[in-house]
Amino acid sequence: MEQNKEMTAQESLKLITETMNSSRKEIVRHSGKYFVLWGILLTVFSVLIYILWKTTGKAAWNNLWFALPAVGFPLARWSKSKEHPVHVENFISRINGGVWGTFGLFACSVALFTVLFGVFSDSPLASLVMGASLTAMIVLLFGMAETISGIALKNWAIKIAGWLTGIGGMAIYYITGANEEQLLIFTFAGIVLAATGLIIKYQYK
């Protein structure tokens, strides 16, 4: 690119449009990396907890879910620190980060609340009901977060993945019932999330 090149008005506007589009695409493509990272983690954790629950018969293995953000956030931070050049942020990427951060906060809070309710409540039935509906709540929140991400990033693949996860996850929940099989919902959600990330990276290559 030359600094002294004489440009016509059309060339100038074309340059502005192309540069801004390229920057927007770069931001969307970059978000794909985090979709893949969290998708893989979600899949691995759900399969691991499913196997442990199935083989031991203890639902308490679900507490391992609290290790997911403990592993995921440092990994995401480490990955960001290794970026060169440093990735840019704009309003859209901040919205995207905010949506997923809020999802994480709500999911962890509601899960913690359910665990504490189970410990301190006298009614085992009430805690069972709360525990069973926890999966449905989280999968719906997850689907919503992904759909909002798709709207913010103006990407149909993410929007469709969000609907699939939220609505599909609820369908699996009603089919499997409140047992270890319901963890397959999160395996499904993780695979959809990672696949979405790969689609984004491929689309905006």
Partner 1 sequence: MFPKLDPLLHSELRLAVMSILAGVDEADFSYLKKQTGATSGNLSVQIDKLTTAGYITVEKGFKGKMPCTTCKMTPAGREAFDSYVTALKEYLATGA
Footprint (CB under 8 A) of partner 1, residues 54-83: 81
Determine which residue in the list 9, 70, 119, 125 makes contact with partner 1, applying CB under 8 A.
9
Count of residues that bind partner 1 according to CB under 8 A: 28
Which one of the spans 8-16, 58-66, 70-78, 108-116 is the region binding partner 1 (CB under 8 A)? 8-16
| Amino acid (1-letter code) at residue 162 | G
- Does the N-terminal peptide bond of residue 69 adopt cis geometry, omega within 30 degrees of 0? no
Minimum CB–partner distance for residue 56 and partner 1 (Å): 43
Question: Cβ contacts of residue 193 below 8 Å, gap of 6+?
Answer: 35, 36, 38, 39, 42, 146, 161, 165
Residue 86-115 contact track with partner 1, rule CB under 8 A, x = bound? xxxxx---x---------------------
Q: For residue 169, which of 134, 131, 140 has the smallest C-alpha distance?
A: 140
Residue 205 interacts with partner 1 (CB under 8 A): yes or no: no
Footprint (CB under 8 A) of partner 1, residues 11-40: 12-13, 15-16, 19-20, 22-24, 26-27
Minimum CB–partner distance for residue 24 and partner 1 (Å): 7
Footprint (CB under 8 A) of partner 1, residues 121-160: none
b/e per residue 21-39 (b: at least 16 CB within 10 A) = eeeeeebbbbbbbbbbbbb
Structural contact between residues 109 and 57, judged by C-beta atoms closer than 8 angstroms: no
Minimum CB–partner distance for residue 41 and partner 1 (Å): 25
Structural contact between residues 39 and 75, judged by C-beta atoms closer than 8 angstroms: no
Question: Cβ contacts of residue 45 below 8 Å, gap of 6+?
Answer: 64, 65, 67, 68, 186, 190
Residue 4 interacts with partner 1 (CB under 8 A): yes or no: yes
CA distances in angstroms from 105 to 95, 118, 141, listed in the order given? 15, 20, 11
Residue 5 interacts with partner 1 (CB under 8 A): yes or no: yes
Minimum CB–partner distance for residue 91 and partner 1 (Å): 8
Residues of this chain that bind partner 1 (CB under 8 A): 1-5, 7, 9-10, 12-13, 15-16, 19-20, 22-24, 26-27, 81, 84-90, 94
